[in-house]
Amino acid sequence: MKTGRFFLFGLLSFSLLLLEFPVLFLDTILTGKSLHELNLWHQKWYFLIIHWTITVTIWGLGIFLILFWFKRKDFLAQVFSFDLKGKGLKMVLISLILVLILSIFERIFFSSNIPQISNEYFNFSKLHGNKAIFLSIFQNIYYLFESIIVVLIVAFFNKGGELLSRIKGFPWGGIGLLFTWGFGHFVSHPTGALYMLILSILIGIVYILSGKNFFSTFAFTFFSFII
């Protein structure tokens, strides 16, 4: 496949994340509030469920179509290893250890409460009482789908970078992720944007070090969201 197409699929994968913005406009209709006034966490609990359900449905369909096309064209093996034995399994465990170290770093330098999954659950409990468990489950399903898209962005940009530069072993995917998903957080979540820039590069490095292993890169990304 031509170099430009890998970059195109990287941008296409990133555009899946941007499709959450139309869902936010739907939220404004349902809640009767403007985007400036909208704070989903402080809306009724079922608005959050509706938002996440619609978003992950759109994302899931997009992920399926992209992977289906790549598999049909026999391009999937060019961007991913799906080994979950030997080195693949070791890298999943190493990914977990790296995330724990990263979380401690985040705690020290960004004053974040860890683990994130329990921190968000307690926040849900304060706002929505006994509905917190359902909200926590749906939110982490949301993170799961976002993690898959992030891994796709890294893989496609990395392959494009390799073909364009003829240099392998460099985290081109992390650079691509930084300039899309990473910088995108300055719009969506500016308070944590700097951390996401660092995380973007780290995800790209894990992808390279794991031998482009899907499971290792996904594990590192997903654990980064919840720990």
Closest CA to 193 of 174, 204, 180: 180
Q: What phi and psi values does residue 213 have, to the nearest 5 degrees?
A: -75, 125
Closest CA to 226 of 118, 89, 101: 118
Sign of CA dihedral 33, 39, 43, 46: positive
pLDDT of residue 38: 60
pLDDT of residue 34: 66
Q: Which residues of the chain have pLDDT under 50?
A: none
Query: Are 157 and 71 a contacting pair, CB within 8 Å?
Result: no
pLDDT of residue 194: 85
As a whole number of angstroms, the distance between CA 120 and CA 112 comes to 12
pLDDT of residue 111: 64
pLDDT of residue 42: 63
112: left (phi over 0), alpha (psi -120 to 50) or beta: beta
pLDDT of residue 39: 66
Domain boundaries, the chain: 3-226
pLDDT of residue 115: 77
Closest CA to 173 of 165, 161, 183, 182: 161
